[in-house]
Structure 1
Amino acid sequence: MNISEKLKRIIELQSEKFDWKLNSLNDGANENQVAEIDKLIGEKIPTELTDLYLANNGESGDERSCFLGHRFIPIDEMAKQIQFGLSLVKPAERILKNPDKSNELLSKIVEFYFAKAPKKGLFKKSWYKIEFSCGLGSYGGPYLYKSGNTDDKSRETIDIDDYKKLSLLVKDLHELEKDSYNWDELEFVMYSDKKYEVKRTDYNFNEEIPFTSTPVGAIKKMYFNPQWIPVFSDHGGNYIGIDLDPDTNGVKGQVIIFGRDEEDMFVLSNSITDFFDLIISKIVDESVDFKQELHLHEIFKNMIKDEK
């Protein structure tokens, strides 16, 4: 059986063994769509994966997802996830290509917050500084410090009920600086005379989350890698896919579990062909209960551990 026939066999076995009604496979992707994936990752995807998508470009329908409850994702969705991984990559040298335009947008962000602050005047309370942060869809603070002696426990929070204007400014600034800087968040200190300081910062998921790899050293400990090619989705931001950038003890093309909720990235097989063969055998001999009330990733992890 070729790779497409093996996937179809897995689908047939689910219908026979579990009496599941499953989504239908789509018609195949075209070679241009596959070439776009190659262009995104900077190399050709494995032949077996190309063959799989040229035969069937994911699935569609309102029944149960075709791969044991996981969705076989179309190639355009695959591209979006790879682009997300690429968006996390930071430039080697970080510069501001258009500092005048950047400063103009930064000043507008400061003006937005200044307008929300208590007004200084004879009958109004004065303040010393306001600290706030903002990113694409994320906002921290703003925190008001009445004097230079005010500490974090005594600071006050300013209520802001409409971030629409601010979100557009932050988006414009991020787009302007994305290629040359690609920050994740801006941290501001704004003083009552409108002078301000700003720091461009990054979310360091790779250090903040205690990632592990099973086996040890097989998968790089990262939040997302643009060379992890998602193939099957659990509908919640977690994937089974192909790893084209393994760690020192891994194999290029290995099938791995990764995603938003996966802190222990896990190798399922050295290739997608071998992985499909394993699934077929486990359904046929009924040695694994794929209907148990566990996330499929946990079922697979237990299955691989039992193999050893």
Structure 2
Amino acid sequence: MTSDADRSDSPVASSTPPGLTTFTIEGRRAPALFVVGWLASLLGLGLAIVGLLRGGGLTGAVLFTVGLAVLGLGLIAAAGSQAIERRATAHRPYAGPSPVLVFAAVLPLTLVVVIAVGTPLVGLGVDPNGPLAAVISLAAIAAVYVVLIRLLVVGTGALGWGAMGVRRPGRGVVEDLAWGAVLGVPVLFATGLLASLLARFLPIPPNVLPPAPDTAGLILNLLAAALIAPIGEEVFFRGFVTTAWARTDGPRVALVRGSLFFAIAHVLTLTGGDAGQALGFAVFAFLARLPVAFTLGWLFLRRGSLYAPIALHVVFNGLQVLALAAVGGVTG
């Protein structure tokens, strides 16, 4: 017969660690990391807000940038703490940090990288709103995606690259690329039809890519939109996010949730002349991205490979860039 003392010391009683939003160090496997995550996130957010409130000037810019860096490091610590807690729980199909938490860390760190790299280039005469700046910004986002996945997901043993659809080169890769390339055209056509319908009721958001003044600018826009962005986004949203949610909630839930997440992520930086216009832009962009978002997720789950959705994404974005250049000339 089992006594109360034996029952309280059993593994079952301590098998579920406290969640990330439960502010306690009792029962945690990494209490220091948890505390650092919370404190750094709050401190960084506060510094960033103070920097914004100070307006222009060197002091405000420094406070804002330092705040973003501290916030990003705090969110990384929180994600690491969450991964450690989940790994300590037996029989979890996915024992890594929340995809939403990792994405939250991506946002401030990307801005820090863009500021750190872009500021010297602006001093050298590079147009901050030109095609080269777009390449740098998207490359920064892709780099942060990959680095955080390597650190927080692969590094913690939650998922390997193979589990996220990174296959070795072979015949299967060619088939994956063909699948994606073929589907890119009809998905773009469906998106165009939906966008034309939405344009009757909602304002059309501006093109996120800068005008290309010449052929070199067009090539840079293609590099940014049709190569860098697809690789970074597919590694994160399909390879990591969809795989993690498929393991915890099944492929159907992962497809829906991952597609909505992908569409939401693409409207976070949209602005407008007023709140109403900004909301209209966001709704338009969100709805217009759903066809490609669901197709990318479905193709990834069906093929089990990142190469297929990357190819679809490359064709989808590349044709849009070329079409815009053809309609408006090289300058778009």
Q: Normalising TM by the smaller chain, what interval?
A: under 0.3
Greater helix content: 2
Mark the structure with the bigger radius of gyration. Answer: 1
Task: Identify the structure with bigger relative contact order (alpha carbons < 8 Å, sequence gap 6+).
Answer: 2
